[in-house]
Amino acid sequence: MKSIKEQVAYLREFVVDDKNRLFDRLIEERTEYVTIVLEDLYQSHNQSAVMRSADCFGIQSVHLIENRNPYDTTSTVAQGAREWLTLHRHKELENNTQETINCLRSAGYRIIATTPHTNDTLIDALDLGKGPMAFFFGTELTGLSDTVISQADEFVKVPMYGFTESLNVSVCAALVMYSVIQRLRASDIQWHLPEQRRDEVFFQWYRNAIKAADEILERFNR
């Protein structure tokens, strides 16, 4: 089988120049220095809204923890964003939250809980330079699980000045992403995708953009 770089180069021939230029531009904006983790969100429209925000802010990977509430793959609300994101679904184990924490921590991510806490930090004051960040958002009614709260490396919150005590989870996620991405892009932190991940993401994008991509690749790899 041809290398992924060779397959990407071949698939480019089946896409118009404007689309190729768009992919080339957007890959430069993508990052996995930040990832988003949704733990047992119940409302599919909240999941979809977070995914749309992640795509808009250039965050490539989103993790979905499905202990009690499964991800609705039939929803068309996030379809436009879903094609361009790398989704990691954690649903095979009894405790998918623990598995997700272990997976992200082994990949070098800081586990950051977005919830009011005695040791929390305002999102605008979070130190971005300490390493890659995985932001955990909990279910609509009860928030993050005790597993996340007990094992989080850091806690952050969005400042609020009204009578309402909490934000909708998708709104909170969007505000967190905006704050972090704006400051990250203005820093000298190496947040861009490494070359191998760029090729993998390109491969995903082209397969989604070309209707007969699998058949084309099958012929190419013979």
Which residue has tokens 């768009």?
22
Asked if residue 70 and residue 93 are part of one domain, the reply reads yes
What is the token pair recorded at 139? 């279910």
- Domain enclosing residue 198, as ranges: 1-30+194-222
Q: Express each pLDDT in 110-159 by its tens digit.
A: 999 998 777 789 999 999 999 999 999 998 778 899 999 999 999 999 88
Q: Which residues of 34-57 are buried (b: 16+ CB within 10 A; e: fewer)?
A: bbbbbbbbeebebbbbbbbbbbeb
Say if residue 111 is in the same domain as residue 76: yes
Tell me: do 104 and 9 sit in the same domain: no
Residue 76, pLDDT > 60, answer: no
Output 164 or 43, whichever has higher pLDDT: 43
From the list 153, 143, 144, the residue with the least C-alpha distance to 119 is 153
pLDDT value of residue 115:
85
pLDDT at 185: 97
61 vs 43, residue with greater confidence: 61
Residue 120, token pair as written in the block: 């929390």
Q: Are residues 3 and 72 in the same domain?
A: no
3-state DSSP call for residue 21? helix
The band of 68, judged by pLDDT with boundaries at 50, 70 and 90, is: confident
Judge if 210 and 186 occupy the same domain: no
| Strand 133-137 with 34-39, pairing | parallel
Contact 96, 68 (CB under 8 A): no
187 with 170, same domain: the answer is yes
pLDDT at 77: 56
Question: Mind listing the pLDDT tens digit for each residue in 185-217?
Answer: 999 999 999 999 999 999 999 999 999 999 999
pLDDT, tens only, 5-43: 999 999 999 999 999 999 999 999 999 999 999 999 888
Please tell me the predicted confidence (pLDDT) of residue 128: 97
Q: How many domains does the chain have?
A: 2
168 and 71 both lie in a single domain? yes
Determine the Cα–Cα distance for residues 13 and 61; give it in Å rounded to an integer. Answer: 27
Mean pLDDT of 59-80: 80
Average pLDDT over residues 66-83: 74
Query: What does the block give as tokens for 112?
Result: 């950051």
Task: Kindly state the tokens that stand for 150.
Answer: 């007990």
Residues 131 and 113 both lie in one domain: yes
What average pLDDT does the structure give for the chain? 92
Q: Are residues 180 and 122 in the same domain?
A: yes
Residues 175 and 199 in one domain: no
Same domain for 21 and 46, yes or no, is no
Shared domain for 108 and 18, answered yes or no, is no
pLDDT value at residue 142 = 80
CATH number at residue 130: 3.40.1280.10
